[in-house]
C-alpha cells in the first residue's frame, strides 16, 4: 500500500510538472490564436463530418494553470514529507528492476544456441519488415493532419487540443522536438521515428519477458501471430499513437501476469503496471479497454 501511495504522489507531481512546463509560463493571449487555428484545421480535416471545436477561454485556462501548480505542489510536498520512505522505496524499486534485468539475462544465457539463433532470426525478420515499411509506406492523411496542424504549432497546442483528430497527445509531443530541432529535411520519416524506435525496444524486451514468464515457444508463437499481421505492422511504423499504445498494453498485461504469479517482484510490477497505464491513456483514450481487462485480471 505504501508503494502505491508513493507512486500516486510521484505521478501527481510529475503530471503537475508536465502541465506547468507546457502552460505555466504561456499566457492565454499567446495560446488562444493557436487553438483557434487548430479548431479551423480540425474542421477542415474532419470534413465532410462535423468537428467538435475545442472550447477555451481565459478563465478556464487560469483554472488549468492553477490545477497544474496545485498538482506539482501536492506531489512535491507529499514526497518531501515521506522522503525517507520514498528514498527507501526508490532504492528497493531500483534493486527490483536490476534483479529483473539479471533474470532476463540469465534466461537468455540458459537458452540453447539453436534457440538463440532462431530468436535472432525472428526478431531481425520483424525489424526488417518494419524498416521496409518505414521507408516505403506512404504517409496517410491522419499522419499529415497530425504533423501539419497539431505538431507544427508547438507542444502547447499538441498537448492541449485533445479532440479528434489529435487525440494521440503523447505521440504528438514526442514528434515535436524531432521536427523542431532536427536538421534533416524529411519530416515524414522523422515523424515516424518515435513509434519505430519504441517499437523495436518493445519487441525485444517484450519477447524476453514473455519467454521468462512462459516458454520460448509461446513467445515465438505470439510474435509470429501478431507482429506479421497487417495491422500490427502498420501500427509499428505509422506516426500515430497506436503502436506505443500497443506497447503499453503489452507492458500492463505482462505486469499483471507477474502480479498474479505470486509476491516476488510485486513492487516493480506495480510500478510498471501503473506507469504503462498512465502513459497508455495519454497516448490514446481508448486504452480504457486493455486497462479494464488488466484490472479485471488483477482483481478477479
- DSSP letters spanning 198-212: HHHHHHHHHHHHHHH
Mean pLDDT, residues 185-192 taken together:
77
- Of the listed ranges 77-86, 174-183, 197-206, 224-233, the least confidently predicted one is 174-183
The enclosing H or E element of 281 equals: helix 266-283
The widest CA-to-CA distance across the chain, in whole angstroms, is 65
Does residue 274 sit within a domain? no
Tell me, yes or no, whether 148 lies in a domain. Answer: no
3, part of any domain: yes
Report the alpha-carbon angle 146-241-148, nearest 5.
Answer: 10
pLDDT at 276: 95
- Determine, yes or no, domain membership for 159: no
Residue 184 pLDDT: 57
Residue scoring higher pLDDT (51 or 103): 103
Residue 99 lies in a domain: no
Is the residue at 31 inside a domain? yes
| Cell numbers standing for residue 258 | 507477474
| 210 has a pLDDT exceeding 90 | yes
Q: Establish if 250 belongs to a structural domain.
A: no
Give the integer Cα–Cα distance in Å for 236 and 131. Answer: 10
The angle at the Cα of 165, spanning 19 to 26, to the nearest 5 degrees, equals 25
Q: Give dist(CA 255, CA 275) in Å, integer.
A: 10
Return the minimum-mean-pLDDT range out of 128-132, 142-146, 195-199, 228-232. 142-146
pLDDT at residue 220 greater than cutoff 80: yes
Looking at residues 234-254, what average pLDDT do you find? 93
pLDDT score, position 223 = 92
Give the model's pLDDT for residue 179.
Answer: 83
**Under a CB-based contact definition with an 8 Å cutoff, are residues 4 and 272 in contact?**
no
Summary mean pLDDT of the chain: 89
d(CA 150, CA 159): 9
Domain that holds residue 47: 1-81
pLDDT in tens, 138-169: 988 888 888 888 888 889 988 888 777 677 88
Residue 47 has pLDDT above 80, yes or no: no
Split at pLDDT 50, 70, 90, the class of 194 is: very high
Which of 66-80, 150-164, 242-256 is predicted with the least confidence, judged by mean pLDDT? 150-164
Q: How many domains does the chain have?
A: 1
Residue 74 lies in a domain: yes
The pTM assigned to this predicted structure is 0.89
Amino acid at each position: 500500500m505504501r508503494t502505491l501511495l508513493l507512486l500516486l504522489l510521484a505521478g501527481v507531481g510529475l503530471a503537475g510538472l508536465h502541465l506547468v512546463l507546457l502552460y505555466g509560463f504561456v499566457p492565454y493571449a499567446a495560446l488562444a490564436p493557436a487553438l483557434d487555428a487548430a479548431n479551423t484545421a480540425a474542421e477542415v480535416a474532419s470534413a465532410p463530418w462535423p468537428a467538435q471545436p475545442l472550447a477555451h477561454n481565459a478563465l478556464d485556462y487560469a483554472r488549468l494553470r492553477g490545477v497544474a501548480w496545485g498538482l506539482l505542489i501536492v506531489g512535491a510536498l507529499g514526497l518531501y514529507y515521506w522522503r525517507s520512505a520514498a528514498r527507501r522505496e526508490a532504492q528497493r524499486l531500483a534493486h527490483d528492476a536490476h534483479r529483473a534485468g539479471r533474470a532476463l539475462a540469465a534466461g537468455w544465457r540458459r537458452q540453447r544456441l539453436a534457440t538463440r539463433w532462431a530468436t535472432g532470426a525472428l526478431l531481425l525478420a520483424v525489424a526488417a519488415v518494419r524498416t521496409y515499411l518505414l521507408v516505403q509506406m506512404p504517409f496517410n492523411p491522419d499522419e499529415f493532419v497530425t504533423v501539419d496542424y497539431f505538431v507544427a504549432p508547438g507542444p502547447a497546442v499538441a498537448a492541449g487540443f485533445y479532440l479528434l483528430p489529435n487525440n494521440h497527445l503523447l505521440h504528438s509531443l514526442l514528434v515535436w522536438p524531432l521536427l523542431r530541432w532536427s536538421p534533416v529535411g524529411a519530416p515524414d520519416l522523422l515523424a515516424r521515428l518515435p513509434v519505430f524506435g519504441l517499437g523495436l525496444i518493445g519487441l525485444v524486451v517484450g519477447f524476453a519477458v514473455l519467454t521468462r514468464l512462459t516458454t520460448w515457444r509461446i513467445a515465438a508463437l505470439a510474435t509470429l501471430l501478431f507482429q506479421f499481421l497487417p495491422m500490427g505492422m502498420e501500427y509499428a511504423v505509422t506516426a500515430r499513437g497506436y503502436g506505443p499504445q500497443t506497447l503499453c498494453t503489452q507492458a500492463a498485461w505482462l505486469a499483471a501476469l507477474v502480479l498474479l504469479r505470486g509476491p516476488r517482484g510485486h513492487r516493480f510490477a506495480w510500478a510498471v503496471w501503473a506507469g504503462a497505464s498512465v502513459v497508455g491513456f495519454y497516448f490514446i483514450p481508448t486504452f480504457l479497454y486493455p486497462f479494464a481487462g488488466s484490472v479485471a485480471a488483477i482483481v478477479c
